């Protein structure tokens, strides 16, 4: 939680992806890492994911190519279980929609 994505240069950026309402069935290290790799490249899990204190959302640290855009949801298949997980992102920097550089907007 101590990194700042605004300081990450270039197209690849490490960010925190939030998985609100993730069913308990998918609260394992293997499942969370698999989900993270669908978003980008998984770098880590919230250190408190296994504490079972908060189960409203999971946090994953992933590296994504910001020029390609961010995924809004991922499909999860586990055996006969199927789930579409919506995603949210934490502390994203301002990016220009025209040139994709950090720190300014098109206007």
CA dihedral 46, 52, 55, 58 (to 10 degrees): 20
Residue 43: what pLDDT? 93
Contact at 8 Å (CB) between 35 and 76?
yes
Residue 24: what pLDDT? 87
Residue 79: what pLDDT? 84
Contact at 8 Å (CB) between 47 and 34?
no
pLDDT tens-place values along the chain, 107 residues long: 665 655 555 678 889 999 999 998 888 899 999 999 999 999 999 887 776 666 778 899 999 987 788 899 999 998 888 999 999 998 776 666 666 566 666 66
pTM for the model: 0.75
Sequence spans of domains, the chain: 8-90
């Amino acid at each position: 939680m101590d990194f700042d994505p605004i300081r990450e240069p270039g197209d690849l950026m490490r960010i925190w992806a939030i998985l609100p309402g993730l069913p308990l069935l998918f609260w394992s290290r293997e499942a969370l890492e698999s989900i993270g790799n669908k978003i980008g490249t998984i770098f880590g899990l919230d250190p408190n994911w296994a504490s079972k204190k908060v189960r409203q959302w999971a946090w994953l640290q992933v590296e994504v190519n910001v020029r390609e855009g961010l995924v809004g949801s991922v499909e999860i298949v586990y055996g006969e279980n199927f789930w579409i997980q919506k995603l949210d992102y934490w502390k994203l920097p301002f990016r220009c929609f025209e040139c994709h550089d950090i720190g300014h907007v098109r206007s």
